[in-house]
Amino acid sequence: MRSVITAVLILLVAFSSFAQDEAESAPASEAPALPPLTVQPSPAAQAAQAQQKPDALLLYNQGRNLESAGKAAEAAVKYRESIVVCDAELAQNPTRMDAYTVKSWSLFRLARYRDVVNVGAAALKVKFDARIVEVMGEAYFHLGDDASALKYLQRYIENAGEYADRVPTAYFYMAESYVRLKRYDHADIAYALAVYRDPSLSRWWFRYGGAVEALGEYARAYELYGRALRLTPGMQDALDAQARVKARL
């Protein structure tokens, strides 16, 4: 009996050793790869990321605000930063008209009028955009090219409609070009349209009075200078002009 038990124990030990050897020699099975853990950013985090992305129009508007506050040097920095952002956007998408537009506006504020015209011409080869046409018209005026200024400003008005944002300014620049061309009757009409659309600028009323004075209509010029003085009491140029035309009545 003892010999039988001993034999059974020997067999069990041998079987256990064999099973262990088999387990060690068998290749380990690979564990299934888990998908990478993705965490969706919160709305606040997404908004923060969006704010960190440079915004050309925002930079341009910041420049305008600084310029209005008399901080010309700081404003120029913002305009140049806006141009850099626009160039990066155009490098990725050469048909992005908003980038062409904001770049043209920023160049204009930096008095880089020839660059405005060049950028605008490149933009119009991609697609017509009334905003581009308008700023090109203003740039041509500052370059002394009144014929091109009138052409582009008129084209802007025809395509943007009478109530577009820059229509009053377009009429004012057209009037200024007509004055330089000594076409005072045309300037009279253009100034009238400018102040009708935006009657809040004393300088426009003053310039309008000058064109009417050049036509020899002194009574009407006196009234127009008066409109400038109502907006800016003590405006010396308007006071001098009123005294001058009053002497001729």
Tens-place pLDDT, residues 138-148:
999 999 999 99
Find the angle CA(103)-CA(107)-CA(113) to the nearest 5 degrees.
130
Q: Taking residues 45-72, what's their average pLDDT?
A: 83
Token pair belonging to 138: 């203003």
d(C-alpha 147, C-alpha 23), whole Å: 94
Look at 24 and 209; give whichever has higher pLDDT: 209
Mean pLDDT estimate for the chain: 87
pTM score, two decimals?
0.78
Token pair belonging to 242: 């009123």
Long-range contacts of 211-217 (CB under 8 A, 24+ apart): 211/175, 211/178, 211/179, 211/184, 211/187, 212/184, 212/188, 213/241, 213/244, 213/245, 214/179, 214/182, 214/184, 215/184, 215/185, 215/188
Token pair 């620049």 in the structure block, residue? 173
User: 53-127 belongs to which CATH class?
Assistant: mainly alpha
CA-based end-to-end distance of the chain = 150
Q: Quick one: pLDDT at residue 54?
A: 86
Look at 57 and 41; give whichever has higher pLDDT: 57
Q: Taking residues 52-59, what's their average pLDDT?
A: 88
Domain ranges across the chain: 53-127
Q: Quick one: pLDDT at residue 43?
A: 59
d(C-alpha 83, C-alpha 102), whole Å: 8
The region of weakest confidence among 24-28, 78-82, 170-174, 217-221 is 24-28
Contacts of 13 (CB under 8 A, 6+ apart): none
Q: Taking residues 54-64, what's their average pLDDT?
A: 96
- 190, pLDDT greater than 90: yes
Q: Quick one: pLDDT at residue 165?
A: 93
Predicted confidence (pLDDT) per residue in 105-159, tens digit: 999 999 999 999 999 999 999 999 999 999 999 999 999 999 999 999 999 999 9
Per-residue pLDDT band for 52 (boundaries 50, 70, 90) equals: low
Token pair belonging to 154: 């008129």
